[in-house]
Amino acid sequence: MDYSRLLNNKIQELKPSGIRKFFDIANEMDHVISLSIGEPDFTTPWHVRQEGIESLRRGRTWYSPNRGFAELRSQISKYYARRFNVEYDPDKEILVSVGGSEAIDLCIRAIVQQGDEVLIPQPSFVCYEPMTVMADGTPVIIRTKAENEFRLTAAELEAAITPRTKLLILPFPNNPTGAVMRREHLEEIAKVIEKHNILVLSDEIYGELTYGKQRHVSFADIPHMKERTIVVSGFSKAYAMTGWRLGYALGPEEVITQMTKLHQYAIMSAPTTAQYAAIEALKHGDADIERMREEYDMRRRLIVDGFCKMGLTCFEPEGAFYCFPSIQISGKTSEQFCEELIYAQHVAIVPGTAFGEYGEGFARVSYSYSLNHIKEALARIERFLDETK
């Protein structure tokens, strides 16, 4: 049977995530030390898990309201005001989704139509481009550069805007580079945005994971930007809750209303058990965030120090749990480097090209692993470099 004639062309042309082959190698090998995973290695804090369990014990197994439980939306509203200084109306401006992932999809689909251009800084998380394509939009990739510490600059943004530009994806703190945008950088971006009638999807899923004295600044906290910004965040990274599949979108009522319609028809409602657990996380989880953040910070220092000493230059990542060392001194492509590393020393890291072609010359190294694990992996990478000199 000829399925290709029956299946949607756009989806058939979509590249499967390029990383698959690489993980297949890793899975077949013994004693692989991985520094490749993109989620917290912590388990969800026990008191949060307990609330999930408690909700099941009480038989709370039904759908929730489409937008999510009112209590959860109210807690999200308080949380964003408390932690990031932006206020949202829990009844009109918040939608609870199945991970930040769903919120990204909904947001793009609610905004983008045939021929609209979506600006996507890369290297970045893998979903923005295919979601744009599936929404009939045209992805316009903006290359962020190591010399700018992988920040998006106002000039780069300005140069990419055309009359057809509708949406800018602002993926900071960034996966895979660990780059953050400080208030002054966001203000520069805001000046450009204000001149053009476009919207911004600010993916702030790593907003709790920034290091050093300055906390993450939400793009919606920049004057006049709240009305143009859809903030996407969730529980996966901040509370180590990836498997619960819970996130949210915050934004203008006009946009959230449209996204809610889509969500209502496609998903109905986010997982009920997860929502009960999330209420607990928001109420009593600030200390957990701090504990995990401190631990990530120690790992970050260890790993960045390790790479620098090996001569793999690595700009200091200030957010998320990744560093993005340059592997150019090896003279290899990112894929070659990672493939040889896994065969020679059984260490799995991800080629930068998995996050867009501009990731060439770099590799993403996750430090969402124990200090002991990182220590061993660094020793192996060093051996690899010594042997291939």
Partner 1 sequence: MVKLLELLGRNADFTPAELSAMLGKSEDEVKKEIEAYKEQGIIKGKKTIIDWGKVPDAEVRAIIELKVTPKPETGFDETADIVMSYDNVESVYLAASSRYDLIALVKGNTIQEIAEFVSKRLSTLENVIGTATSFVLNTYKQDNEIFGNESDEEEQRSMIL
Ligand X SMILES: Cc1ncc(COP(=O)(O)O)c(C=O)c1O
Site for partner 1, residues 76 to 135, rule: CB under 8 A: 125-126
Distance (Å, whole) CA 7 – CA 71: 42
Which of 14, 159, 268, 298 is close enough to bind partner 1 by CB under 8 A? 298
In angstroms, give the least distance from the CB of 23 to partner 1: 4
Q: Which of residues 214-253 bind partner 1 (CB under 8 A)?
A: 242
Query: Which of partner 1, ligand X, none lies near 329, with the C-beta cut-off 5 to 8 A by kind?
Result: none
| CA atoms lying within 13 Å on the CB side of residue 267 | 26
**Span between the terminal Cα atoms of the chain, in Å:** 52
Helix (H, G, I), strand (E, B) or coil at 67: coil
Q: Does 381 bind partner 1 (CB under 8 A)?
A: no
Rule CB under 8 A: which of 16-75 touch partner 1?
Answer: 17, 19, 23, 26-27, 36-39
User: Pattern of binders to ligand X over 183-222, x per CB under 6 A?
Assistant: --------------------x-x-----------------
Task: State the minimum distance, in angstroms, from the CB of residue 386 to ligand X.
Answer: 33
* CA-to-CA dists, residue 213 to 126, 210, 237, 303, angstroms: 29, 9, 20, 20
Q: Which of 82, 224, 301, 383 binds partner 1 (CB under 8 A)?
A: 301
Q: Applying CB under 8 A, does 312 fall inside the site for partner 1?
A: no
Q: Residues 159-198 vs partner 1: string with x where CB under 8 A?
A: ----------------xx----------------------
Give the whole-angstrom CA distance, residue 270 versus residue 98: 5
Asked if 19 is part of the footprint of ligand X (rule: CB under 6 A), the reply reads no
339 binds partner 1 (CB under 8 A): no
Helix (H, G, I), strand (E, B) or coil at 362: strand
Token pair belonging to 217 = 């600044």
Question: Residue 368: CB partners within 8 Å, gap ≥ 6?
Answer: 37, 38, 39, 40, 41, 296, 299, 321
CA 183 to chain centre: 19
23 binds, among ligand X, partner 1, none (CB under 5 to 8 A by kind): partner 1
Between CA 344 and CA 358 the distance in angstroms is: 26
Minimum CB distance to partner 1, residue 277 (Å): 19
Residues 325, 207, 94, 192, CA torsion sign:
negative
List CB contacts of 206: < 8 A, sequence separation 6 or more. Answer: 173, 174, 175, 216, 237, 319, 320, 321
Applying CB under 8 A, which part among 79-87, 280-288, 301-309, 313-321 lies near partner 1? Answer: 301-309
Nearest CB to ligand X, comparing residues 44 and 345: 44
Cα–Cα distance for residue pair 351/362, rounded to 1 Å: 7
Number of residues that bind partner 1 (CB under 8 A): 27
Name the segment binding ligand X (CB under 6 A); options: 11-19, 45-53, 98-106, 331-339: 98-106
Sorted by sequence, the CB contacts under 8 Å of residue 346 that are 6+ apart come out as 29, 30, 31, 32, 33, 380
What single-letter DSSP state applies at residue 16? P
Q: Which of residues 345-384 bind ligand X (CB under 6 A)?
A: none
362: buried, middle or exposed (CB in 10 Å: 19+, 13-18, 0-12)?
buried
Task: For the segment 25-84, give every residue that binds ligand X (CB under 6 A).
Answer: 38
The answer to the question of residue 247 lying near ligand X (CB under 6 A) is: yes
- The residues pairing with 348 across neighbouring beta strands, listed in sequence order, are 34
Q: Compute the least distance from the CB of residue 19 to partner 1, in Å.
A: 6
Per CB under 6 A, does 175 bind ligand X? yes
The contact set with ligand X (CB under 6 A) reads 38, 99-101, 125, 171, 175, 203, 205, 234, 236, 242, 247
The contact set with partner 1 (CB under 8 A) reads 17, 19, 23, 26-27, 36-39, 125-126, 175-176, 242, 298-299, 301-302, 304-306, 350, 354-355, 371-372, 375
